[in-house]
Structure 1
């Protein structure tokens, strides 16, 4: 019997809001504060998910049923930034243990978000997740598309083999960014868009981060012996990650 070929590691690029963070309620509340500030009625989580899109100004246009004015947009941006600066990031249940298991198997990970870079770094520092990531990148310029951010992120990582890079996110924009940059994507249904909308993106859609990570790791391994993210590993103290 010929020797088995080694299992090659993957690199997972994680999204932050709506993915590693379980912050839909935070975002709905922040958007409603923005809407109140410009005299618009509140929306519920279902409406938020159904209408969510990027760029964010277009999202607010859709929520209002009209284009927001420049002065309204300035108010929205200021109010939203205030809401985000005041929050503690709500880590998704099991995220810390999952990041640890992935690292234990020899895979690499990084973080990419369209949250402002300073805000992202404050939140990651609070969670202590920075130990898991080779690189952390937030948004440096307003309205940077995710595809452009991903392209820059991969370049800063030293251009890893894109056949072995997987973006795990929660929006159709994540899928489009991955497609544009020639990497795979896996979307999960626990974030900012409805499952029905995610399934239009032409990329795998699953119902949990564990399932997303398992799919990311299994697909590119050798056909004769796939690897997976186990459901449990020897326990360690993860209290500092909460």
Structure 2
């Protein structure tokens, strides 16, 4: 059982966990699917097939990388995502949870499969950058994963992984937590369904405030 008194660092995923951007992602990918005369996704199907590496999710959505390289729709998606991002907001409880953890004296960090420069820009845009001691994104827009970046984060902060808690919204977050040796909670308000998340064996939150009721 996870208790915050045993935790020194909370590692947050960004997309879907703190930022409620699922609708923006579904709308953006559907624009690309429609251009290719492929069947669009609804939110339920999206949450059933979204995965890391993101290239695998694109294939499940119907993209044919024998006809075009993955990098083409991936960059088109990012252009649409950036354009439509003004429609996304932080989850309702995001700021209050960050404030409460800060008041408890816990360190906080971001670990994301989003490109680093864009990630830093968005944290500033949503006015929450000051809550985080470290911000670790990746060096491209192709969403292959973040295991190595997670290891780098733990090493840079010189912390015992067992005193770290990773909170994310995908099974990849559980994989990252296992790889770096830290604890894990998952959140069903993001990019994968609760049914999928429960297969990880980790506790699944429906509201980030449930973190304080464990």
CA–CA separation in structure 1 for the residues paired with 2:134 and 2:67: 35
Picking from 3, 27, 30, the partner of 2:28 is: 30
Secondary structure of 1:201's counterpart equals: coil
Q: Distance in 1 between matches of 2:17 and 2:143?
A: 20
Gaps of 5+ in 2: none
Q: Secondary structure at the match of 2:105?
A: coil
TM-score, scaled to structure 1: 0.80
Secondary structure in structure 2 of the residue aligned to 1:114:
strand
Rounded Cα–Cα distance in structure 1 between residues aligned with 2:81 and 2:119: 10
Question: Bigger radius of gyration, 1 or 2?
Answer: 1
Deviation at 1:108, TM superposition (A): 0.9
C-alpha contact (below 8 Å) 2:187/2:204 kept by paired residues: yes
Residue 211 of structure 1 is matched in structure 2 by: 210
User: Secondary structure of the residue that 2:176 maps to in structure 1?
Assistant: helix
Tell me the distance in 2 between the aligned counterparts of 1:41 and 1:71.
Answer: 18
Report the CA distance shift for 1:9/1:59 in structure 2 as closer, same or farther (over 3 A).
Answer: closer
What residue in structure 2 maps to residue 96 of structure 1?
95
Q: Which moved more, 1:31-40 or 1:195-204?
A: 31-40
- Once residues 80 and 212 of structure 2 are traced to their aligned partners in structure 1, the CA distance between those partners, rounded to angstroms, is 30
After superposition, the Cα gap between the structure-2 partners of 1:59 and 1:8, relative to the gap in structure 1 and judged at 3 Å, is: closer
Deviation at 1:83, TM superposition (A): 1.6
Cα separation, 2, equivalents of 1:111 and 1:143? 15
* 2:152 aligned partner: 152
SS in 2 for 1:19: coil
Tell me the CA shift for residue 207 of structure 1: 1.1
Contact 2:112 2:138 in 1 (8 A): yes
RMSD: 1.8
1:43 and 2:52 correspond: no
What is the distance in 2 between the residues matched to 1:76 and 1:96?
33
Shift of residue 196, structure 1, vs aligned partner: 0.7
How far apart, in 1, do the equivalents of 2:160 and 2:21 lie? Answer: 32
Residue correspondences, number: 207
**Pair 1:143–1:212, CA change in 2 (3 A):** same
In structure 1, what is the equivalent of residue 197 of structure 2?
Answer: 198
Cα distance in 2 between the residues matched to 1:32 and 1:145: 23
For residues 209-228 of structure 1, the C-alpha deviation after alignment (integer angstroms, 9 at most, x for no partner) is 1113554xxxxxxxxxxxxx
TM-score using structure 2 length: 0.90
| Deviation of the 1:143 alpha carbon | 4.7
